[in-house]
Chains A and B, each alone.
Chain A
Amino acid sequence: MNLTTEHLSDTRKKITVAISAEETAQEYQGILKEFVKQAKVPGFRPGKIPTNIVERKYSKELSEELTRKCLTKAYNHVVTDSGFEVYTVVDAEEPEVVKGVEVSFEVTVDVNPEFELPEYKEIPVTLVPVEVTDQDVDDMIDEIRKQRAEFNVVETPAKATDYVKVSYEGFIDGQSISEICPDKKVWAKQENTWEEAAPEESRRMGVPAVMDGILGMKAEDSKEVEMTFAEDHEVEALRGKTATYKITVHEVRERVLPELNEDFLKSLQIESVEQLKDRIFQDLEGRKKNEQAGDKRRQILAFLNDAVQIPVPETAVEAQTQALVQRTMMDYMRRGVAQAEMESRIEELTEKSHKAAEEQVKLDVILTRIAKKESVEVTDQDMQRAIMMEAMQTRTKPEEIVKRLQKDRRNIYQLQRNLLVDKTLEFLSEQAKVTETEKEG
């Protein structure tokens, strides 16, 4: 088998495979032998049929088999011996192979680009040291108390962080906002909705003017407030406009934090304050450690991404883009976004995903290469652990997951690939050169 390569681009090659006459003839003989063993012709015992009769009877099947076998052999040859790391076969001619006749055909493949691995040991990363202070623990306890707060109806004016049942409607120059942007009700008109009065920055999820405006209002009060929308507001029609909101308060509920007493501890199934603090401390520490590990990985990925500039196989990017778009679409569907809106956004989404996909594929290529060089391998134990994890997360039996994996071999490959990348990252994480920064603030 003879290969000649034509460079189309760094990642795409056109390989011409030539199979000589002898090779096809030889292949044909092999196939014929197999057929003689298997064939059934009346008047002959199995396996005792003369070859010429088999040839006559199964001529069509024989030539099909010959073509199939020669082409598969040629592909494998291209994948293993062409000297490239073939990513996928993009396009392949499928000529008919005739025994004893030379054939040549073209296969277009996407290959992993050749590149020098950067110095991947001791990748510099800077991390914020894990440190949990008493302040953090106290904050956390406050947070828990807030979550378990009771809300009592009061007749007094609303204080900060109280919940208020309110109706409001926004107008711009006398025109109702619901006419300007009917699909964004939050900014236009709401009936009997619960808003937190002047909440903390992190929980602001409504019209700021309303949230601030209801501060100090009593039940059955009405008020008008003005607000100018920011220039980068999510709704284009509202940017830079000044709106007037008419607010009517129906009910005020005061937030009453539970005391840090025995009843409260009991509801958390904890015996003493010390124990609570201890548990929160551990929780926070674990979470921060996780965050730190995640941060480390991100930095390593960013380093590799910067260090290597390579073109990536187009087909891989395409596939990855499709996968990303699909995932987002699924997400939309679950959230109940209208079909029409999804379709209108698909183009924008594709464009956005394309870049992310390119980066992912690139990192994939780099990490696989490192894995190969460092002989990082996925063992059966790794697979088992991954399956158990998955089972725990999705609350299914491990056997079911195994069954699902076995249904399609591609799933297994996918899992193996993911694990390999994961393990390589783990390896790099261990090797990384860590500099700890001073704690911020």
Chain B
Amino acid sequence: MIQAEKILIKPIVSEKATLAAASHNQYAFKVHPEANAIAVAQAVEHAFKDKKVEVVKVNIINVKPKFKRSRTQRGKMSRKPGYKKALVTLKPGQTIDLI
């Protein structure tokens, strides 16, 4: 079992995430690699409990690590680690501030 406060690592602020928040009331987080949808839902409700938000749905996406071949150092590969991303849908009308 993971500690609740370790589940949400950080909110994701990007063009795509802002768009999702605006159109579907979905908020993106980078989460602990071993967290599951239920744990994330509970963690979000806990973290923003002063706003009393209700999570409708959590989609989990495993973002694959990205590799890049160096053009100068004999084709050495560099690796950008992957992570687990959770898209949390809130009940319509409820919002959270990510920044």
Contact = CB atoms under 8 A, between A and B. Distances in A.
A410 interface: no
A53 B14 CA distance: 10
B2 to A, nearest CB: 26
A45 interface: yes
Given A50-B18, A53-B18, A43 B12 contact: yes
Nearest to B19: A50
Interface residues of B, number: 7
User: Which of A43, A45, A48 gathers the greatest number of chain B CB atoms within 10 Å?
Assistant: A43
A226 B75 CA distance: 106
Nearest to B18: A50
B15 interface: yes
A56 to B, nearest CB: 5
A48 B13 CA distance: 13
B13 A53 contact: yes
B95 to A, nearest CB: 12
Contacts of A45: 15
B38 interface: no
Contacts, number: 15
Contacts of A48: 15
Nearest to B17: A43
Interface in A16-49: 41, 43-45, 48
Nearest to B13: A43
A164 B27 CA distance: 106
A44 B15 CA distance: 5
Interface in A44-85: 44-45, 48, 50, 53, 56
Interface string B9-45: 0001111011000000000000000000000000000
Contacts of A50: 18
B99 interface: yes
A301 to B, nearest CB: 68
A358 to B, nearest CB: 61
Contacts of B13: 41, 43, 53
Q: Is the interface of A mostly helix, strand, loop or mixed?
A: loop
Contacts of B12: 43
A41 to B, nearest CB: 8
Contacts of B15: 43-45, 48
B99 A56 contact: yes
B99 A43 contact: no
Contacts of A43: 12-15, 17
Nearest to A44: B15
A218 to B, nearest CB: 98
A43 B28 CA distance: 13
A50 B17 CA distance: 11
Contacts of A53: 13, 18, 99
Contacts of B99: 53, 56
A45 B18 CA distance: 13
Interface string B79-99: 000000000000000000001
Interface in B49-99: 99
Nearest to A48: B15
Interface in A190-226: none
A166 B18 CA distance: 100
A50 to B, nearest CB: 6
Contacts of B17: 43
A437 B6 CA distance: 105
B23 to A, nearest CB: 13
A78 B13 CA distance: 45
Nearest to B12: A43
A197 to B, nearest CB: 92
B12 to A, nearest CB: 7
A60 to B, nearest CB: 15
A56 B99 CA distance: 8
Nearest to B99: A56
Nearest to A49: B15
A45 B14 CA distance: 9
A43 B15 CA distance: 6
A1 to B, nearest CB: 35
A41 B17 CA distance: 14
B87 to A, nearest CB: 15
A53 B17 CA distance: 12
A43 B30 CA distance: 14
A156 B46 CA distance: 122
A340 to B, nearest CB: 66
A391 to B, nearest CB: 54
A53 B99 CA distance: 8
15 contacts: A41-B13, A43-B12, A43-B13, A43-B14, A43-B15, A43-B17, A44-B14, A44-B15, A45-B15, A48-B15, A50-B18, A53-B13, A53-B18, A53-B99, A56-B99
Given A43-B13, A53-B18, 8 more contacts: A41-B13, A43-B14, A43-B17, A45-B15, A48-B15, A50-B18, A53-B99, A56-B99
CB-based closest 9 A-B pairs: A43-B14, A44-B15, A56-B99, A43-B13, A50-B18, A48-B15, A43-B15, A45-B15, A44-B14
